[in-house]
């Protein structure tokens, strides 16, 4: 019984919350307000204003991913080198913010970066000129890196952890010093984790709209903000749906490429 | 000239002495096997020679120089690991070439050496194969080739044949021995398989609880075990308690028997070891022991027969069977009674 029908709840769930919405979005994306079929919504995508926002989305997401990787990889590597008690402590520290609401964390950053925020308070205490940090693209990237760092660190950390100590010893045995062991063995073997971390960072980053909204103050809108506006402000569900389709397509393409690299080595969180 | 000397070598893990002040001298081109049950310290000793574990006391000398201060990657020693530890991200060719690339050999020279090794281990044409596309036996050969291509002075092998099936293991034993003789490299081999040790080694080092029990050639270890542990571990043995009445006379369960051992204290409590294959069924007048057959197990080459004589159970290996419950007469030559001093409890 369970074997035969155990999948039913999942199938129902998928149909109701994934397949059906996609069909609805698809319908909206290829129709106009008067109900006639048209691909005009997709043509809008090439409007320079929209293209600009897409470009900005991509560059913010790429920069976020790069910084996450630059900070995350050494951290993941380091976490595998410390003694087990320290290691567990570091994992908890890394995961701890993820247990708090995402919005809450973003609001907290407003308090840090704001005009009268923590950073400026410290600066003025030392009689240094205060900085205008809020509502800049830099601020958006800082907060996104903060938010997505665990998603970069954890897959890399797991993959490095799984590398057989015997393989490292074998490399040393064959004449590799610490640096060579890293470049010739640990780094290549950690690549599936890196690929996984990149997709776990890049995909949510490219579609995020809360951070650019709350931290960027609408000045560095991303594709997510654009979609949000079409649905909630401008009631242009048709254009919103088309833009969503484009975003889904972008995500699918990047998933395809990441899967090419990660094959079956593991390290994915999903 | 000794190539490797272990002096007073000691390793302690969490207050437990895993390797207990051992001394061992290994000559060039020698095939030395460290044999013992798991946890006897043989692998730890090997890892100290390889440089993956640092000793808590004692010295390791290599050509007379202190080896303990040299990191593993600078030692002229290579290892074949228990689980092969091949690089999963590299193909067969690159696995073997790994050590040579690190030592910055020319591409043409690497190619020549790798090809030669593949030929040696009988895997020509496998260059481009992925590691996970190889069978256990093939992976084993690659692991050996990867170590040997560096032309080490010493090759350490940590139970390298443990994961292979019996047939393959026997073939590889012969091949390894042949390679060792052909290449003239010192092999230090760790195993818990006594037959493997007897087949391949020049010298066997029997270890138990971190202490060397006996060092000797396979025939010495087998025929003249120094204590009951060695006798029990190498081959099958009947080990019973006895009392040495005087030179060349031993008493077992109240009966005295002739033996050839001398030099024990009168009435010293000792262990008597008799190999099952040295106990032969005979007629009544030649009988050393007479008893009743309790169990017969067919083992292929021979029958394993247990019989009881004066409350003492003995095991015989015989090509002839016997009926359970029947009376048997068993003959043992005087020189097949091996008398051993009791191992002092440690």
User: What CATH number has the domain bearing residue B277?
Assistant: 2.40.50.140
B142 domain-assigned: yes
Q: Are residues B61 and B207 in the same domain?
A: yes
Both B221 and B335 in one domain: the answer is no
pLDDT in tens, B164-206: 888 888 888 998 999 899 888 999 999 999 889 999 999 999 9
Q: How far apart are the CA of A168 and the nearest CA of chain B, in angstroms? A: 8
B346: in domain: no
Asked if residue B283 and residue B208 are part of one domain, the reply reads: no
User: What is the tens place of the pLDDT at every residue in B65-99?
Assistant: 999 999 999 899 999 998 889 999 999 999 999 99
For residues B71 and B203, state if they share a domain.
yes
Q: Which of B193, B228, B263 is the last residue of a domain?
A: B228
Nearest C-alpha in A relative to B100: A174
pLDDT tens track for B152-166: 999 999 999 887 888
Q: Where are the domains of chain A?
A: 51-222
Position with higher pLDDT, A5 vs B107: B107
Which among B71, B82, B98 has CB closest to A174?
Answer: B98
Phi, then psi, of A159 in degrees rounded to 5: -65, -45
Q: How far apart are CA B59 and CA A128, in angstroms?
A: 61
What residue ranges of chain A have pLDDT lower than 50? 265-270
Nearest chain A alpha carbon to B77 = A173
Pick A51-222's CATH classification: 1.10.3720.10, 3.40.50.300, 3.40.50.720, 2.40.30.10.
Answer: 1.10.3720.10
C-alpha dist (Å) from residue A30 to A22, A253, B65: 12, 21, 81
Nearest CB to B102; choose among A176, A188, A189: A176
Measure in Å the smallest separation between the Cα of A36 and chain B Cα atoms.
Answer: 55
CATH number, domain containing residue B168: 3.40.50.300
Q: Is residue B176 a part of any domain in this protein? A: yes
Residue B270 bridge partners (DSSP)? B242, B341
Chain B positions with Cβ closer than 8 Å to A: 50-52, 71-74, 77-79, 81-83, 85-89, 98-99, 102-103, 146-147, 150
Domain count, chain B: 2
* Residue A268: predicted pLDDT: 45
Residues B214 and B97 in one domain: yes
Q: Do A174 and B102 touch (CB under 8 A)?
A: yes
Choose the final residue of a domain: B228, B250, B282. Answer: B228
Residue B307 lies in a domain: yes
In terms of Cα–Cα distance, which of A245, A190, A198, A199 is closest to A223?
A245
Query: Distance (Å, rounded) from C-alpha A260 to C-alpha A270?
Result: 16
* pLDDT reported for residue B344: 55
pLDDT value at position A134? 83
Smallest CA–CA distance from A166 into chain B, residue: B85
Q: Of B81, B84, B87, which to mutate for an interface test with A (greatest number of A Cβ within 10 Å)?
A: B87
Same-domain check for residues B223 and B258: no
CB contacts < 8 A (A, B) = 65
- End-of-domain residue from the set B228, B247, B267: B228
List of residues 6+ apart from B299 with CB closer than 8 A: B317
| B35 and B155 fall within a common domain | yes
Q: Which residues 6+ apart lie within 8 Å of A192 measured at CB?
A: A159, A261, A262, A263, A265, A266, A267
Interface predicted TM-score (ipTM) over 0.90: no
Q: Within a 10 A sphere around the Cβ of A48, how many other Cβ atoms?
A: 7
Taking CA B5 as the corner, what is the angle to CA B3 and CA B11, rounded to the nearest 5 degrees? 140
- Are B145 and B13 part of one and the same domain? yes
Contacting residues of B for A174, CB less than 8 Å apart? 73, 78, 98-99, 102, 146-147, 150
Comparing CB atoms, the residue among B52, B85, B99 nearest residue A167 is B85
Same domain, yes or no: B270 and B249: yes
Q: pLDDT tens, B253-281?
A: 888 899 998 888 888 899 898 999 999 99
pTM: predicted TM-score of the whole model, two decimal places: 0.79
A259-263: Cβ within 8 A, 24+ apart: A261/A191, A261/A192, A261/A195, A262/A192, A262/A195, A262/A196, A263/A192
Q: pLDDT tens-digit profile of B21-77?
A: 999 999 999 999 999 998 899 999 999 999 999 999 999 999 989 999 999 998 999
Shared domain for B259 and B195, answered yes or no, is: no
Asked if the structure places residue B317 within a domain, the reply is yes
> Which DSSP string do the residues of A55-121 spell out, in sequence order?
HHHHHHHHHHHHHHHHHHHHHHHHHTTS-HHHHHHHHHHHHGGGGS-HHHHHHHHHHHHSTTSHHHH
Of B50, B82, B89, the CB nearest to A173: B50
Q: Which pLDDT belongs to residue A266?
A: 46
B231 pLDDT exceeds 80? yes
SS3 of residue B17 by DSSP: strand
Please state, in angstroms and rounded to a whole number, the distance separating the CA atoms of residues A59 and A221. 12
Whether B138 has a pLDDT exceeding 50, the answer reads yes
- Residue-wise pLDDT for A33-87, tens only, equals 888 888 888 888 888 888 888 898 999 999 999 999 999 999 999 999 999 999 9
Structure tokens at B341: 């001093």
Can you give the residue range of the structural domain that contains B40? 2-228
Give pLDDT, residue A143.
93
Is B147–A171 a contact, with Cβ atoms under 8 angstroms apart? no
Task: Say whether B86 and A175 touch across the interface (CB within 8 A).
Answer: no
If pLDDT is split at 50, 70 and 90, which confidence band does B5 have? very high
Same domain, B160 and B284: no
Whether residues B123 and B30 share a domain: the answer is yes
Q: pLDDT-derived band of residue B345, with 50, 70 and 90 as boundaries?
A: very low
């Amino acid at each position: 019984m369970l074997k035969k029908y155990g999948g039913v709840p999942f199938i129902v769930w998928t149909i109701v919350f994934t397949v059906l919405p996609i069909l609805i979005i698809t319908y909206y994306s290829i129709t106009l307000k008067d109900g006639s079929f048209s691909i005009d919504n997709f043509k809008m995508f090439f409007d320079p204003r929209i293209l600009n926002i897409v470009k900005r989305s991509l560059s913010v997401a790429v920069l976020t991913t790069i910084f996450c990787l630059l900070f995350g990889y050494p951290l993941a590597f380091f976490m595998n080198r410390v003694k087990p008690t320290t290691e567990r402590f570091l994992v908890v520290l890394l995961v701890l913010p993820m247990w708090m609401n995402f919005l809450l964390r973003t609001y907290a950053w407003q308090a840090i970066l704001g005009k009268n925020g923590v950073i400026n308070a410290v600066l003025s205490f030392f009689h240094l000129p205060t900085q205008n940090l809020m509502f800049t693209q830099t601020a958006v990237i800082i907060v996104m890196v903060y938010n997505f760092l665990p998603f970069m660190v954890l897959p890399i950390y797991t993959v490095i952890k799984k590398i057989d100590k015997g393989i490292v010893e074998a490399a040393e045995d064959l004449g590799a010093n610490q640096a060579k062991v890293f470049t010739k063995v640990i780094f290549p073997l950690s690549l599936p984790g890196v690929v996984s971390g990149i997709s776990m960072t890049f995909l949510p980053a490219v579609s995020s709209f809360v951070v650019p909204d709350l931290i960027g103050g609408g000045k560095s809108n991303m594709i997510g903000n654009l979609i949000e506006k079409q649905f909630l402000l401008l009631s242009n569900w048709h254009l919103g749906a088309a833009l969503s389709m484009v975003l889904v397509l972008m995500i699918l393409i990047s998933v395809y490429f990441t899967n090419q690299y990660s094959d079956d080595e593991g390290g994915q969180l999903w | 000239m000794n190539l490797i000397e272990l002096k007073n070598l000691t390793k302690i893990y969490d207050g437990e002495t895993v390797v207990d002040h051992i001394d061992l001298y290994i000559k060039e081109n020698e095939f030395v096997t460290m044999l013992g049950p798991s946890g006897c310290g043989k692998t730890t000793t090997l890892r100290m020679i390889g440089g993956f574990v640092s000793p808590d006391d004692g010295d390791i000398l290599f050509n007379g120089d202190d080896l303990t201060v040299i990191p593993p990657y600078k030692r002229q020693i290579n290892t074949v690991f228990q689980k092969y530890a091949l690089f999963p991200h590299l193909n067969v060719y690159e696995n073997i070439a790994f050590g040579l690339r690190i030592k910055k050999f020319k591409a043409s020279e690497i190619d020549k050496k790798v090809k030669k090794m593949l030929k040696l281990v009988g895997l020509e044409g496998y260059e481009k194969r992925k590691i996970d596309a190889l069978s256990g036996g093939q992976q084993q050969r690659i692991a050996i080739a990867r170590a040997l291509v560096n032309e080490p002075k010493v090759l350490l092998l940590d139970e390298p044949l443990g994961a292979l099936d019996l047939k393959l293991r026997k073939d590889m034993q012969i091949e390894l021995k042949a390679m060792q003789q052909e290449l003239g490299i010192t092999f230090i081999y760790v195993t818990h398989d006594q037959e493997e040790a007897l087949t391949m080694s020049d010298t066997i080092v029997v270890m138990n609880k971190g202490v060397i029990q006996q060092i000797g050639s396979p025939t010495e270890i087998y025929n003249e075990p120094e204590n009951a542990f060695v006798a029990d571990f190498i081959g099958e043995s009947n080990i019973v308690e006895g009392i040495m009445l005087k030179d060349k006379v031993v008493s077992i369960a109240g009966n005295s028997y002739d033996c050839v051992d001398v030099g024990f204290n009168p009435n010293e409590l000792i262990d008597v070891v008799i190999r099952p294959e040295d106990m032969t069924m005979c007629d009544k007048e030649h009988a050393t022991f007479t008893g009743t057959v309790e169990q017969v197990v067919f083992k292929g080459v021979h029958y394993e027969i247990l019989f009881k004589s004066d409350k003492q159970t003995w095991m015989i290996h015989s090509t002839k069977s016997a009926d359970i419950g029947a009376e048997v007469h068993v003959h043992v030559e005087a020189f097949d009674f091996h008398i051993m001093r009791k191992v002092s409890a440690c």
